[in-house]
A and B are shown apart, each in its own frame.
Chain A
C-alpha cells in the first residue's frame, strides 16, 4: 500500500520535472523562432540593396561637345560638362520621341550619371571622339521594377514611371543592356536623397569615430575608477553612496545623457554640434558605469591568495594591484568594455539631442566633421517616402548586426582564451 503511494508520488515528481523541462525547451524554441522570423524578414527585405541595377549606354565622346582635346588637363576635364553627350545618348534610345517625353528619358538614369561618365573618361583618356559603352546607375524607380519590388501591371497614374519609360526599359532589357551588379557604392557612398546613390560610408565612418572617442575616454576612466573603488578605497559611507550611484547610472535611460551633452558640451563649452567628438563624449558617459561594473566584478574574482602572495614577497600595494591583480582581471574587463561599446554602437536617442540625426552627404574625415552613425541612418531611411529606401534600411540593419556580432564574439573569444579558472 505504502509502496504504491510512494510510486505514485515519485511518478508525479518525475512528471513535474518533465513538464518543467518541456516549458524550458518551448520558451527557447519560441525565442529562436522569433529571432529567425526577424532575421529572415530583415534579410529578405535588405538583400536587394547589395545589388544595383545599371544601364549600358552607348556614349559618343564628341570632342566639340565636350570642348576638350587630347591634351586637356585633368582640371579642364573636371570642369567640362558631360551633360550634353549624356542627353544625346539617352535621346538616341528613342530618336522619334516628342519633346514632352524627352524629360522622361533623362530620368531613366540617376542624377550622378554625368559624374559617372566623367569618371569613366578620366580613366580612359584615349576614347575622345569615339563611341563607348558606359555603365550608368539606373534611377531608383526602374531599379525597384528590376528587383520586382514595384508592380508594373497597374494603371499608369498609380506608378512612379510612365508607360513610355517602361517601354524603353523593356527594350533595353531585351537587348541585355540592363545589368545587375554588386553594389559596392552602398559601402563607399555617403548618404543621399536618391535611393540608388545612397550609401552607408558616412555613417559607418561616423560610427567608427564616435566609438573611438568613446573608447578613448571611457576605457581609462572606467578602469581607474574600478581599480580605485575595488582595491584602494576605504569601505565607508561615501564609497557606498558612490557604488549605489554607479549602479543607478548604468540604468539611467540614455536620452538623459543626451540632454546632459546638449546642456554641458554644446551650450556651455560650445563644442561643435553634430560631431563624433561630442557624440563620443556623450556615449562615454553612458558607457562608463557599464565598464566599471564588469571591471570591478573581474577584479573581485581574482583570489585573495594572489594579493597575499605578492604582498608577502614585499611588493607594495600599487605593485600588487598593477603587476598581479589587474593583468589577471584584464580578460573580464576587456570583454565588459567591448559589450559596453557594442551597446553604444546601437544608440540613437542621446545623439538626437546633440544634432547627429542629420543628413550628411560627405564622408567625415576627422571626429570634428559633422556626421551621422549607423543606427541614425536606419532611422532616417526608414522615415523616407521613396520605395528604394525600404531595402536600404534593412541592409543597414544587416551591417549593424554584423558589427555587433563581430564585437560580441571578440569579447567572448577574449574571455575564453585568456580567462583563468580558479579551482
Chain B
C-alpha cells in the first residue's frame, strides 16, 4: 500500500519535472508598457498555428530583468520587455549567471503625453514650468522654499489662471521613471541643484496639487475626462485609444506626434526594448520565428498592427537594422 503510494507520488513528481525540463512555449516577462504590444504579437503568432502562443507576464522592467538574468535554462524566461535600456548592474547580474549573449531589439518608441480633457483650452508648457508645478521644493529669491504655486499663472503669467491639479503615477511605475528622467531632471533649476542634492529634483510635492492616482492609466484617463482642469501623464497609446475624451498639451511648443516621438524631437519620447537570450534560440521552438514576427513589417512597420494599438514605429533605417539583428540573432556587446 505504502509502496504503491510512493510509486504514484514519484511518478507525479517526475511528470512535473519532466514538464519543467521540456518547454515548448516561449516565456516573456517585463515592462507593463511593452506588455500590450508583446501580447498582441504573441496572439497573432499563436493564431498562425505553427507554434504555441507565448506566455507573456507583466512584471515591470526591473522585475523582468531580475528573472531574465536569473540564468540559462528552461526555468528562466526567454525574453523580457523593457521601457528603458538595460542598466550596467543588470548586465553584470546577467553575466554572473551565465547569460552572456543577449540580443537587444529596440522595437519602437513611446511618448509620454501630458494630457487633459478635451473640454479644457489647449495648453503649452515648458519643462521648467512642469517641474515647478510638480516639484516638492522650489527656489524663490535664492532660497529653497516649499512649493507655493497654487495656480498655473503663479508660475508664469502666460499660463491660464486655473488651479494646478496633476494626476501622477506612483513611484513604482516605469512611466514615472521616464517622466522624472525626461522632464523633472531636465526642467530642474540650476539654482536648485546648487542649493541641494540634484536627486531631490524628482521629489514630488505632497499637497492637493499633485495626486497620486495609482498604476492604472485607464483610471487616470477616466478621471481626466470628468475633471476639465486636471492634467495627467501616461503612454501615447492611451491617448490614441481615448481621443474622444482627452487631448495632449504641447511641451516646449511641440505636440506629441508620431514623427516627433520617432525622431525624439518631442521631449518626452523614449525607445522600448525587447531583450532575448541567444542561448535559448535553438532550444525553445518558435524562438527565432517569434523575433522575426515581432520585428516584421506587418507588426512594427509604419502601418503595422502594433502601430494601430499605439506603438510609435522606428524610423525606416532603424527598423531595418533591428530586423537584421533579429534574423541574424546578433548579440550585443557587453
Give the shortest distance, in Å, between B310 (CB) and chain A (any CB).
7
A323 within 8 Å of B (CB atoms): no
Give the shortest distance, in Å, between B113 (CB) and chain A (any CB).
12
A193 within 8 Å of B (CB atoms): yes
**Contact string against A for B residues 208-242, beta-carbon threshold 8 Å, 1 for contact and 0 otherwise:** 00000001111100000000000000010110111
A360 and B303 in contact (CB under 8 A), knowing A150-B244, A385-B237? Answer: no
A362 and B53 in contact (CB under 8 A), knowing A111-B44, A193-B40? Answer: yes
B195 within 8 Å of A (CB atoms): no
The answer to whether B244 and A270 touch across the interface, beta carbons within 8 angstroms, is no
**Contact string against A for B residues 32-59, beta-carbon threshold 8 Å, 1 for contact and 0 otherwise:** 1001101110111011000011011111
A368 and B19 in contact (CB under 8 A), knowing A362-B46, A383-B217, A383-B218? Answer: yes
B243 within 8 Å of A (CB atoms): yes
Residues of B within 8 A of A111 (CB): 44, 47
A-B contact count (CB 8 A): 101
Tell me the bound Cα distance from A50 to B276 in angstroms: 39
The answer to whether A380 and B58 touch across the interface, beta carbons within 8 angstroms, is yes
Residues of A within 8 A of B241 (CB): 160, 385-387
B25 within 8 Å of A (CB atoms): yes
**Contact string against B for A residues 131-171, beta-carbon threshold 8 Å, 1 for contact and 0 otherwise:** 00000000000000000001100100111100000000000
A361 within 8 Å of B (CB atoms): yes
Chain A's interface size range is 35 or more
A274 within 8 Å of B (CB atoms): yes
Give the shortest distance, in Å, between B59 (CB) and chain A (any CB).
8
The answer to whether B218 and A359 touch across the interface, beta carbons within 8 angstroms, is no
Q: Is the interface of A mostly helix, strand, loop or mixed?
A: loop
Contact of A361 among B29, B46, B218 (CB under 8 A): B46
The answer to whether A158 and B244 touch across the interface, beta carbons within 8 angstroms, is yes
Residues of A within 8 A of B270 (CB): none
The answer to whether B35 and A359 touch across the interface, beta carbons within 8 angstroms, is yes
**Contact string against B for A residues 361-373, beta-carbon threshold 8 Å, 1 for contact and 0 otherwise:** 1100000101000
Contact of A359 among B42, B216, B242 (CB under 8 A): B42
List residues of A whose CB falls within 8 A of some B CB: 103, 111-112, 115, 150-151, 154, 157-160, 192-194, 266, 270-274, 277, 355, 357-362, 368, 370, 380, 382-387, 389-390
Instruction: Please name 24 pairs of A and B residues whose Cβ atoms are closer than 8 Å in the assembled complex, sorted by A.
Output: A111-B47, A151-B244, A154-B244, A157-B243, A158-B243, A158-B244, A193-B39, A270-B20, A271-B20, A272-B20, A272-B75, A273-B27, A274-B55, A358-B55, A358-B57, A359-B39, A359-B42, A361-B53, A362-B53, A370-B55, A382-B219, A383-B215, A384-B218, A385-B235
List residues of B whose CB falls within 8 A of some A CB: 15-17, 19-20, 25, 27, 29, 32, 35-36, 38-40, 42-44, 46-47, 52-53, 55-59, 75, 118, 215-219, 235, 237-238, 240-244, 303, 309-310
